[in-house]
Chains A and B, each alone.
Chain A
């Protein structure tokens, strides 16, 4: 008898037969994590509210087309802004405190140039067609932006442009070396390809405007400022003092006005600097005379620096006093100013420094002290009764009830290209809300599209895109876990040497390679935005972070999450929020 074949009694011994998955440790939790994308400070600072963290994330992953489309959702002119915007985004970038801010504008330009070079067609969401037609007066950044966004919202648009080519200040004001015409044409071409009609060489008079109102359901006034303000001193004539903006326009039209000798440029804004640098390129010498100090100049600091590299002289604390003709030249008498205390805007308050004056003899004088409308009726009426005043535009209703929207430089507090683009977007949102829900809904509807806590609005949010789920909390630098980043130098965008610059109107800043663009975009912290780095997944002690099939989304398995908080602590970019359980 072989006992080996007999039936053995079952063994009850310490040997497992289940996993611990029956033990729902989620019951231990008193804090609960949640994936919550938040607002990056750059996107809130961008007047157009671009989703910058996401743009950089997509660029770093090599998804240039998708990154470019992300820009276009909020800004139709990346090729322009990547060159001429004053990039407040970079000023507030959280990486500045770590090593250096991200070269956001360099990447934006790279994306636009890449799209242009490859003739990419964007795939963007558009709402259903609406019966109303919109008329837009002026094809500057405000008008182009308004047309773009109205079209996204389903409206047919016609733009009326007085000059021979569209673009406004982009074509006729900003010099070629900052914004080449071919680049602008490509951008405008894309806007036109959405079905927008631009009628160039069509100047609209006040009476023609009234006729227009019969054919359209709304009108956007984006005529801008095309006249420099006069100096208001004795001896000022159309001969002795040239309009700075007029000068820039003629150069952009291909003329080469004589710039022999020394030109004095009065003013401290970008126009003054543009005029001075244009004079240099036309073979002349230029001196900027400004009544305050260099640090008070509204012009971009980088532009001022480049101007001085190119040989432009800068004389501070000098205000124009009087002009005396002296044959072919002019004697410019200047009053010396000094700083006493501070103005309301924080700039030093200037007062005349006694009776001190100085003189300079020049070939010509340019005024670039400010700008104004070409025709007075461009401005929004002073009687605001019944009007809606928003941050970047004003809406007036005529007796027929048709809204007339004033935007761009006409209404913006800060007058620059990106603020103009924001103005066009705001106008489109406001009018669409007016048509769909009525006047009273405008304020709250627009408020719900704010990016973070600022004035910028998001069209993606307005159109119920994914961005509407984002928290408006703006990520602070201390909320970034810098343990996951190494010091890395900011990309240096190559630039023409001074000698190469002053000899022509060639574009100064040169392009970068895709390699460098990706490397720079990878420096972005992606504040508040999950970029699938998987730290949460790697460090979860309870295997409670589940990744979606495409590895794009993550969620927490609350059956097991003990609320330790490691996912939130180790998320480099504050994309995980930890809150008390039960709330």
Chain B
């Protein structure tokens, strides 16, 4: 595919991400769109380790690692300092995992966007606490095995809809993105960069290790999440204006589930129920976008 002018790299080889890691693909593409005038706040997540141990860093921009729950707050501080220094060119970005966004970092995120701080908050979502060994988070989807939802105790709670939460804050821009759709991701990052105020990007980043898939399947699985309407690609501006970016051919969700070891225990009945849940959510989204199902 043609993505012009993105030949520069802001991420180095030699990082310690797993082979096939979706989070590293997400970071690489994201940074191609952001460019070098970026300061990144990095609360605890897989990337805290992927970025490399002292004295190494895999990032070519300034990065500040912070405590788990401080993604929104630390970025607010960085932004305030840059404003006081008269720097209008540098973008402030928080790069957090699902744990640090949906759970422990939720308050800090909500506080920062309520103040409409001028920064981009990116949640790369691998749907569990992967860095600490695949424990469940409120982002773990219905039906998944994790080390804290093992065996027959698989997660029978829906994934928290973080995008709708952020939409309710009425911030200028909220969007979902996916590593299997790089042009769409880059366009959304560029768009976010051009807007003043709080921007939230929810990037679907598959995890071969935690999802029990082969390392060469991470992009395909990510793509299937969109194609099955499990992870729709859409944008919301100012909390009211919905745009759905991709109307897939609506593959059956069981095609997505049966390829992943973390869903191996699900029966046909479970999958049918999940199909209904996905259809319902998709229908709700269409309604919000003013479209018919």
- Residue of B219, B220, B223 with highest tally of chain A CB at under 10 A: B219
Contact code string B18-33 (vs A, CB < 8 Å = 1, else 0): 0111101100110000
A538 in contact with B215 (CB, 8 Å): no
Bound-state CA distance A533–B1 (Å) is: 5
Bound-state CA distance A24–B16 (Å) is: 10
Chain B contacts for A578, CB-based, 8 A: 216
Q: Which of A227-277 contact B (CB under 8 A)?
A: none
Bound-state CA distance A17–B62 (Å) is: 11
The interface size of chain B toward A, counting residues with CB under 8 Å, comes to: 38
Shortest CB distance B257–A (Å):
18
Contact code string B171-205 (vs A, CB < 8 Å = 1, else 0): 00000000100100000000000000000000000
Known A18-B55, A543-B28, A570-B219: A565·B14 in contact at CB below 8 Å: no
How many residue pairs bridge A and B at CB < 8 Å?
112
Contact code string B210-233 (vs A, CB < 8 Å = 1, else 0): 000011111110010000000000
B216 in contact with A569 (CB, 8 Å): yes
Known A20-B57, A22-B56, A533-B1: A566·B219 in contact at CB below 8 Å: yes
Chain B contacts for A21, CB-based, 8 A: 12-14
Q: Tell me, yes or no, whether A559 is within 8 Å of chain B by CB.
A: yes
Q: Tell me, yes or no, whether A339 is within 8 Å of chain B by CB.
A: no
Bound-state CA distance A29–B13 (Å) is: 14
Bound-state CA distance A112–B53 (Å) is: 60
Name the one of B13, B208, B215 contacting A543, with C-beta atoms under 8 angstroms. B13
B219 in contact with A542 (CB, 8 Å): no
Shortest CB distance B223–A (Å):
6
Bound-state CA distance A93–B55 (Å) is: 54
Q: Which of A482-527 contact B (CB under 8 A)?
A: 483-484
Known A16-B56, A23-B14, A23-B56: A28·B3 in contact at CB below 8 Å: no
A20 in contact with B25 (CB, 8 Å): no
Chain A contacts for B179, CB-based, 8 A: 539
Q: Tell me, yes or no, whether B160 is within 8 Å of chain A by CB.
A: no
Q: Tell me, yes or no, whether A557 is within 8 Å of chain B by CB.
A: yes
Q: Tell me, yes or no, whether A562 is within 8 Å of chain B by CB.
A: yes
Chain B contacts for A541, CB-based, 8 A: 17, 19-22, 24-25, 28
Q: Tell me, yes or no, whether A387 is within 8 Å of chain B by CB.
A: no
Bound-state CA distance A568–B20 (Å) is: 12
A25 in contact with B24 (CB, 8 Å): no
Known A535-B1, A541-B25: A19·B218 in contact at CB below 8 Å: no
Chain B contacts for A539, CB-based, 8 A: 25, 179, 182, 219
Contact code string A467-494 (vs B, CB < 8 Å = 1, else 0): 0000000000000000110000000000
Q: Tell me, yes or no, whether A563 is within 8 Å of chain B by CB.
A: yes
Q: Tell me, yes or no, whether B39 is within 8 Å of chain A by CB.
A: no
Q: Tell me, yes or no, whether A372 is within 8 Å of chain B by CB.
A: no
- Residue of A533, A560, A566 with highest tally of chain B CB at under 10 A: A566
Selected A-B contacts with CB under 8 Å, 9 pairs = A18-B56, A22-B14, A535-B1, A538-B1, A541-B21, A542-B24, A560-B13, A566-B216, A578-B216
Chain B positions within 8 Å of A, measured between CB atoms, are 1, 3, 7, 9, 11-17, 19-22, 24-25, 28-29, 51-52, 54-58, 60, 179, 182, 208, 214-220, 223
Chain A positions within 8 Å of B, measured between CB atoms, are 14, 16-25, 28-29, 483-484, 533-535, 538-539, 541-544, 547, 557, 559-560, 562-566, 568-570, 578
